[in-house]
Structure 1
Amino acid sequence: MTLKLYSHPLASYCWKPLIALYDNDIAFETVEVNLGDDASRSAFSAVWPLLKFPVLVDDDRGQTVIGSAAVIDYVDRFAAPPAPMIPADPDLGWQARMWDRLFDDHFQTPMQQMVGDALRSPRDRDAFGLGKARDELRAAYPVFEERLPADGWCLGEMFTLADCSALPALFWADTVEPFSADHPKLTAYLKRLKARPSAARVLKEAEPFFAWFPRDPKPRI
């Protein structure tokens, strides 16, 4: 297969398929998208006019796959990975997809709202929306703390789509609204995720861009 992944190292939703691809040693070409550069923006617009990434292009099959979970699903189905990220077992499969959505909805979405607010001019910032997003994260922490396992991965011994989703969700949530002091299971799970070679590689690739993060404190591995 000839795969191209359009992404940016700082984009949290791009981390999910990168972890899956690295974890299974799938060959692909990274196309780094810089939406602030006219040429890069124009080239990516020809691939996906809505300018959202990640996007995977499979030249051999003539397919364009949009969205992080869809990319992982596609790679599972057509790239013959040694360890698929969506388990074949039906019960584990729906649970992996469920946890993927839960991490997106309850961590990524409010985190993105907080980061987006920091990108606005001071007069355009939304104090109410910022407070609501922070409250959503604070409400999610104890719920996930109670339900996540004390060791291993989200679904036990198998590393899955759920864990690919968890790394960016927890890393960036902990950056904007730290949970480490009061949630030991979340903290330990994030530590295990960071130590996995595929996730560590993604973090290392993103680290040079951490200075661009629009909030203080800046993220740290």
Structure 2
Amino acid sequence: MDLYFSPMACSMATRIAAYEAGAQINFLRVDTRASPKRVEDGTAFLSLNPMGQVPVLRADDGELIFENPVILQYVADRFPAAGLIPAEGAERRRVQKWLSFIGSELHTGVFIALLDPKAPEGAKAFARAAAAPRLAVLDAHLTGREFLQGRFSVADAYLFVMLTWARHVALDLTPYPALAAYRDRLQARPSVARALGEEFTLFKAAA
């Protein structure tokens, strides 16, 4: 499998999942600042994903898989022994619920505007206001829990990336102590610490 990624982007969640599963994945860096965007091997990235967004996963059979929640579930299902998503039933749907929540309510609903240097200040202010009730939901859910749902899952990997972005845009988690403690616990997890260290080093080198 090949993962097309950009350092500190949401593709880091798949790197975390791969390390959790002990999966062999080739990481191919995409220069999202180039025009047009290019993969490190010279491939035009738009020829792989017309939206120009990471992650993209090339499966062993050559299939190109798009969209972060879909890729995360694919990796989890490909390596079931890691237990990154339940195989079926209500427990699986609960993990899928959190993947959807993170993708729509946080990734798109909050961080797209906060991370986009071209977004107007009004959009950024709206996103910051929108963050509060969403973070409160997570904080309430994580009170007394170690992970989002039972054991560590791909939803936790995805949420951790969002919480690293919160630091980057100075989104204060102090009002959400359970969420802040959760972030700190995950950051100490070996797979997370490894992925974060590698990607932050790449990100800083390109800055």
Normalising by structure 2, we get a TM-score of 0.87
CA displacement, residues 161-192 of structure 1 (integer Å, 9 cap, x when unaligned): 22112101122124324333222101110011
Deviation at 1:45, TM superposition (A): 2.3
Task: Give the one of 3, 20, 28 matched to 1:5.
Answer: 3
Indicate conservation of the 8 Å contact 1:137/1:177, yes or no. Answer: no
Task: Give the one of 160, 185, 192 matched to 1:167.
Answer: 160
Q: Does 1:189 align with 2:182?
A: yes
Change (3 A) 1:194 1:129: same
AA partner of residue 91 (structure 1): A
The corresponding residue for 2:87 is: 88
Task: Give the one of 15, 23, 28 matched to 1:26.
Answer: 23
CA displacement, residues 28-55 of structure 1 (integer Å, 9 cap, x when unaligned): 1111011334582553222223211101
Task: Give the one of 33, 37, 41 matched to 1:36.
Answer: 33
> Structure 2, unaligned stretches of length 5 or more?
none
The corresponding residue for 2:73 is: 73
The residue matched to 1:82 in structure 2 has which SS?
helix
Matches within 5 A, 1:101-112: 101-109=100-108, 110-112=110-112
> Structure 1, unaligned stretches of length 5 or more?
214-221
AA partner of residue 27 (structure 2): T
Deviation at 1:211, TM superposition (A): 7.7
Change (3 A) 1:144 1:76: closer
More moved, 63-72 vs 177-186: 177-186
Change (3 A) 1:196 1:91: same
Instruction: Give the Cα separation in 1 of the matches to 2:69 and 2:194.
Output: 19
Indicate conservation of the 8 Å contact 1:107/1:170, yes or no. Answer: no
The residue matched to 1:31 in structure 2 has which SS?
strand
Instruction: Give the Cα separation in 2 of the matches to 1:188 and 1:39.
Output: 37
The corresponding residue for 2:98 is: 99
Instruction: Give the Cα separation in 2 of the matches to 1:165 and 1:73.
Output: 11
For the pair shown, the structure with the greater C-alpha radius of gyration is 1
